[in-house]
Structure 1
Amino acid sequence: MKTLKGTPISSGIAIGSVFVKKIDTKAIEFTKADNTIEEKQRFHNSRNLAIEQVEGIYKEMLQTKGKEEAAIFEAHIEMLNDVEFISSVESTIETSACNAEWAIKTVRDSFVELFEALDDEYMRERAMDIKDISNRILKILSGNDSKDSFRFKQPVIVVADDLAPSDTAQMDPEFVLGIINETGGPTSHAAIIARMLGIPFVVCPDITSRVQMGQMLAFDGETGNIELEVTEQVHKEYEARQDAFRFKKGQLEQLRGTKAITVDGYEVALAGNIGAPQDADKVLQQDGSSIGLFRTEFLYMNRDTAPDEEEQFKAYKEVALKMEGNPVIIRTLDIGGDKEVNYLEIKKEDNPFLGYRAIRLCLDRISFWKVQLRALLRASKFGNIHIMYPMIVSMEELYQAKRILEEVKTELRNEGIEFKEAIPVGMMMETPAAALMADVFAQEVDFFSIGTNDLIQYTMAVDRMNGKVAHLYSQYDPAVLRFVKKIVESAHQNGIPAGICGEAAADEKLLPVWVGLGVDELSMSPVSILNTRGRIQGLIKSDCEELVTKILALKTSAEVEEYLKRV
C-alpha cells in the first residue's frame, strides 16, 4: 500500500479515477513591441473579454449557488478593473517597449511575490486570485481560453498542479468526486468554493508526478491521507469512511440552532473571523453567534489610496446590520509587519514585526486613524459594534488610544452626528508584555481577545515562515498556555470576558483546554463553527479543569500534544 500525506482542506472521502490537469508551461517570452499603443489595446481588449467571462461565472454562481459563492468572482471583477493593476501593465508596456503578454506576466509575478511573502494566510492566498485573473487574460491573448476544461461526463478525482478559483467554480459535484492540488491552503478561494460545493480537497506537493490519467485513487479530506494503490481492502475501508462521514455531516447539521454548552452547563460563544463585509454571510450560514474578529486592514490593501470615512462607514454598517444586534468585534487597522501598503510610505525595516505597525502606526498618524474611528462610531448606531485595538504592549499606548477615541466622540457630538456612547472597547492580547500586565489592562477595557498566532510568535521568538525555526512555533507550548491562563484569569477577576481569535481557537485537541481555562468566546473560520459546537457539547467542564492542571504541569509542547491526543 502506498500512502501519501497531504494537507486536509475540505473534508470528505473520495474514491475514483484520476483526471490530471497541468497548467500550460509554455514560457512567455519578451518581444520588442513596435507599437506600444497597439499592445496596450491588445491588453485592454483581452481584459474586457476576461471581465465578460468572469461576469458570466458570477451570474451563474449567483443563480445556482448563492450570493456568498458569487462574491468571490465579484472580487475578481474588481481586480480586473483595479487601477493599480491596469496602470502597472500599461506602464510596463510603455517603459519596456514589450508585448502585452510579457507585461501581464511581469505585473502578475510582482503582485504574487508581494502577497505570498505576507505572514497572514488569508492574504497569502489572495496571490492565487491574482494568478487567476492574469492567466485568464493571457489565455485569451493566446487564443487558448476554453471554458470547458472541468466539465466531465463521468465521475473523476481532479489532480492539478495549480487550480484556480474559476476552475473550481466550473466543477459539478456530481462528476468531481474530489480535488488534490499541489498548492493552496484552507483560505484560498479554490478551497472555499470546494467546501461550499461539498467537494473533498487535499493539498499535496508534486502529486501530478506521482499519478497517471485514469489511475484509481482514494483520499480522505479530513486526514489528508492519499492512497495511490486502491486494493479491494482499501476500497472497502474508504467506502466505510464515506458512510461514517455522511452520518457525521448529518449530525452536525442537526446542531444548527443549538448552543455550544458543555454537559455540565458551561457555554462558550462561537464567533467567526472575517476580512470583508460579505464574509459575514459565511458566519451566518454556518450558524455563528457573532463576529469575533473583523480584520479591517483588508479594506486598506491592494489599492492606491486609503478608504475614506464614507467607504469604511458603509462597510462597518453593512456587517452590523447583517448581524442584527449580535456582537461585531472590529479590530482597528493592523497594518505593517507583513502587510505592506505602498501609499502609506512605510520605510523598510530590519525587523518589521517588532517595528512600526498596528497601533504604533495609528498613534503616530492620528488624523489618519481618526478617519477609521469616526466611521466605526458612526456605524455603531446600526448594531452591536465593539472596537478592538491591536498589539497594545503598554499602558501608555492604551491611554493614548482611549484619549483619541474620546476626542473623536467629542468631534461627532459637536457635529450633531449620532453614535453609541457606551460602545465597548477591548484589546488584542498578543504579546508577552500584554499577558504579564493583563491584570492591569483588564481594569481599563471591556474585553480581551487573545490572538494566538502572534502570541505564539512573540512568546517563542519564532518567525513561523522561517523553515529553520518553524518547528519551535507551537500552540501546545506550555509557555503559551500559561500566558492564556493568566490572561483569562485576569479578565474574569476584573469582570470582563476573554476570547480567542487566533487559529488555535478551532483546534480540536485544545478545545478541552480552552473550556477548562474558562474561555468565554472562540472565534474561528466560519466552516469550523458547527464542528466545534458539537465537540464542546460532548465535554464536561469539571473534567476539562482537571485536564488543564495536568497539562500545565508538563514541560514540552510535544508532551502536551501527545497527552491531548489521548483525551
Structure 2
Amino acid sequence: GFEAIISRRLGSKQQRLVIGANDALTLEPVPPELQRRFVLSDAEVLQLARWAVLIEEHTGARRGVPTPMDIEWARDGDSGALFILQARPETVESRRPAGLLRRWLFDPGEAPLLATGRAIGSAVSSGVARVLEDPSQIHCFATGDLLVSRRTDPDWEPILRRASGVITDQGGRTCHAAIIAREMGITAIVGTGDGTRRIADGQLITASCAQGEQGRVYAGRLDYRVEDQEVAALPSTRTRVQLNLGNPDDAFQRARLPCDGVGLARLEFIIANQIGVHPLALLQPQLVGDEAERQAIATRIAGHASGSEYYINVLSQGMARMAAAFYPRPVTLRFSDFKSNEYARLLGGRQAEPLEENPMLGWRGASRYVSAAFAEAFALECRALRRVRDDLGLINAIPMVPFCRTPAEADRVLAAMAAEGLVRGENGLQVSMMVELPANVLELEAYAQRFDGFSIGSNDLTQLTLGLDRDSALVAELFDENHGAVRWLIAETIRRAHRCGRPVGLCGQAPSDDPDFLSFLLEQGIDAISFNADALIRGWLQVAAAERQPAPQGTTPSGHGP
C-alpha cells in the first residue's frame, strides 16, 4: 500500500514547558531553530497512524461496530520514544447525523429595514456590522461579525471565514461573495446598491435570507430559530448527487455528507490563501522588485527546498486532503481558473500579470496553461496532481480543464499534462472538461474524442450566451439560466455527449435555487448534479422526488438552436 502523509503544517511553537529544578515545570521560549523544525519525522507520523488503525480495529472488533477513537500520545523528551497515553471512543462527531435539513424561522416584526438585495441561501445571522473598504482591515474584524463591503474577491476570504454573514453593494447570485458564502454556509445578501452607506460600522444588525429571494438587513439583533430535521435514509437516485468543495480544511467534515463524491473541487482557495504567492514569482524571483514582497515570499517558502517545491508541496497537500477525505469516491479537481486581476493580487503577481480591460474574457483557463508565459506555472499544478495520484495512491483525483476555447487548445493542454506524466488512460487517469462556452457545445463531438466526461459550468455558459458580465449588479436581473438559448445549449450538450458515450454533470447554482430548472436537467438525462454543502440534502430529496414524477410526453427544451 501507500504510506501517504496527506499534509504537513509547521506550527509556531513559540513556548514550551520544561522540567526544571525540583521537577518544577518552567515555561521558556522555544529556540528559533526548533521553531522552524517539524516536531515529528515522517516515520514517526506513520508509526502513530499504524497504532491508531490498530486501536480502532481492536475496539471495533470488541464492540462489533466500527468505532472512531480519541487517542492521546506523547513523546519522551530524552529518548524520543513515542507512547500512547490513552484511547477512548469518540462521542461527538461520530454521533452527529450526516443528513440534516436546516430551516431558519424569522419574524422581524416592526424592526427598521436598512437595506435589501439578492438573498443567497436561506440563513439568518445577526451581529456587529463591519463596513470595510479593504481586506487589509482584517484586524478590525472579530469572529461572528457581518462584513459590509462594496464587493469581494479572493483577497477577502480570510475575513469571510470569520464572518457570520456578508452584505455587498455590488454583485448578483453568481458573484464571488455569493459563491463563497454558499460554500462556507454563511448568510449573504448581494447587490444592495447602497448597503455600505445605509449600514453604520459597529451597528448591530440582522441579515435575513429566510424571506424569499429578497435578502433584507434590519437594525438590531433580532431573534430567530433554527430547526434541524434529520433525514434517516435518503432515497436512491439515478442521477449522481455530488458536492462542490473549495477549502481543503472542510474536506473531512464535508465527507460525512451522503454524496457521490465531489463534482467540483476548486484549487483557487489553496492558491490564494494557503500558497499566497504567484507561481511565476516563485519560478522567476527576479520578477519581484519590491523588497517587502521579497521578504514576505521568503518567509512563506522557509523550510522548503525551493519556491517551486513550496508551490507543489502546498498545492498537492490541499489536493490530497480533498481526495483522501472522499476516497474512493471521485473528486474532480479543476485546474486553476484565476483571471489576471485575481492572480495579480498574489505576492509577486503585479509584475507577472498583464492589465486587462475584461479579465473574465481574457487570459484564463486553457489558454493560460499553454501560453509560453505561463507554461512553467501550469507544470507545477501537473506535478502536484501527479504526486497526489502516483505517490499517495489517490487515483480518485480526476483533473478537469476549464475555459477551453478550441479542440486544438485542448490538444496542447493534454500534451502539457502528458509531458509531466499525466497521460490520459494511464494509471486509470480520466480527464474532464468544463463546458462553459457556446462553442464547446457546437463542437462537443471533437471534445468527446479528447476528454472522458464533461461538467457544464452554467454561470459562464449563461453569461457568454447572453453577453453579460455576471459580476455586474447593473445587469444581474438579466442573468437567467432558464433563458431558452441557455436551456437549448445545455440540452444539446447532454444529447451530444451521450451520443458519444460521455457522462455530463452540472456544477452551477441554478439547480439549488430553481426546482423547475432541476426538473429540466433530469428530463434531459443529466448524469450528475453538484450542490454546495448547505443545499446538498435538500437537493438530493428534490432529485429523488423529481425522478419519481413521470416524464412529460414530448418534452423538449424551449428556445431555438442554430
In structure 2, give the amino acid aligned to 1:347. Answer: P
- Partner Cα separation in structure 1 for residue 205 and residue 162 of structure 2: 26
* CA distance 1:166–1:363, shift in 2 (3 Å): closer
Root mean square deviation of aligned Cα: 4.6
SS in 2 for 1:536: helix
Answering whether residue 127 of structure 2 is matched by residue 127 of structure 1, we say no
**TM-score, normalised relative to structure 1:** 0.58
Q: CA separation of 1:258/1:383 partners in 2, compared to 1, >3 Å: closer, same or farther?
A: farther
Cα deviation 1:42-80 (Å, max 9, x = unaligned):
x9xx99xx79x98xx7xxx9xxxxxxxxxx9xxxxxxxx
Quick one: which of 506, 509, 512 aligns to 1:503? 509
Structure having the higher helix fraction is: 1
Cα contact 1:391–1:430 (8 A) shared by 2: yes
The alpha-carbon distance between structure 1 residues 547 and 505, as it changes in their structure 2 partners (threshold 3 A), is: farther
1:370 match: 379
| Distance in 1 between residues matched to 2:486 and 2:419, nearest whole Å | 36
TM-superposed CA distance for 1:518, in Å, is 0.7
Which of 250, 254, 267 is 2:231 aligned to?
254
Runs (5+) with no aligned partner, structure 2? 1-108, 171-176, 280-309
Q: 1:407 to 1:532 in 2, by over 3 A?
A: same
**2:408 is aligned with what amino acid?**
E
Q: Give distance in 2, aligned partners of 1:505 and 1:349.
A: 32
When residues 338 and 405 of structure 1 are mapped into structure 2, their CA distance, relative to the original with a 3 A threshold, is: same
Partner residue, 2:265: 294
- 1:526 maps to amino acid: A
Counterpart among 210, 235, 238 of residue 221 in structure 1: 210
Q: Deviations over 1:209-258 (max 9, x none)?
A: 699x99999966152576989xxxxxxxx99xx7xx84xx42xx315x53
Counterpart selection for 1:359 from 344, 366, 373: 366
Contact 1:9 1:222 (8 Å CA) reproduced: no
User: Which residue in the other structure is 2:495 paired with?
Assistant: 489
Cα 1:330–1:259, aligned 2, differ >3 Å: closer, same or farther? farther
Q: What is the CA distance between 1:180 and its match in structure 2?
A: 9.5
Match status 1:313 vs 2:316: yes
Structure 1 contact 515–541 (Cα < 8 Å) conserved: no
Change (3 A) 1:166 1:390: closer
State yes or no: 1:537 paired with 2:544: yes
Gap change, CA 1:337 and 1:546, over 3 Å in 2: farther
2:409 corresponds to 1:397:
yes
Structure 1 unaligned residues grouped into runs of 5+? 29-42, 62-71, 73-107, 133-163, 169-178, 230-237, 262-266, 412-418, 556-567
CA spacing shift, 1:216–1:321, aligned 2, 3 Å: closer
Counterpart-to-counterpart distance in 1, 2:369 and 2:470 = 26
How far apart, in 1, do the equivalents of 2:409 and 2:263 lie?
23
Pair 1:470–1:322, CA change in 2 (3 A) = same
Note if contact 1:194-1:201 (Cα within 8 Å) is conserved in structure 2.
Answer: no
Measured in 2, the distance between the counterparts of 1:274 and 1:441 equals 25
209 and 406 in structure 1: CA distance in 2 versus 1, 3 angstrom threshold: closer
SS at match of 1:399: helix
Query: CA shift at 1:312, angstroms?
Result: 2.0
Q: Of residues 274, 280, 285 in structure 1, which corresponds to 2:251?
A: 280
Aligned to 1:89: none
Amino acid at match of 2:277: D
* C-alpha spacing 1:491/1:316, structure 2 compared with 1 (3 Å): same
Identity of aligned residues (%): 19
Question: Equivalent residue for 2:450?
Answer: 444
CA distance in 1, matches of 2:385, 2:242: 20
1:8 maps onto 2:119 in alignment: yes
3-state SS in 2 of match to 1:382 = coil
Does 2:277 align with 1:304?
yes
Alpha-carbon deviation of 1:545? 5.1
2:396 pairs, out of 368, 384, 388, with 384
Q: Counterpart in 2 of 1:327?
A: 330
Q: Structure 1, residues 295-329: CA drift from partner, whole Å, max 9, x if none?
A: 11333336234352222222222211111210010
1:316–1:379 CA contact under 8 A, matched in 2: yes
Q: How many Å apart are 1:289 and its aligned residue? A: 2.1
The answer to whether structure 1 residue 425 and structure 2 residue 431 are counterparts is yes
**In 2: Cα distance, 1:485 partner to 1:368 partner:** 36
Q: CA deviation at 1:513?
A: 0.6
Check whether the contact 2:453–2:503 (CA below 8 A) recurs between aligned residues: yes
Structure 1 residues 403 and 283 mapped into 2: Cα distance closer, same or farther (>3 Å)?
same
Find the aligned partners of 2:130 and 2:197 in 1 and give their Cα distance.
Answer: 11
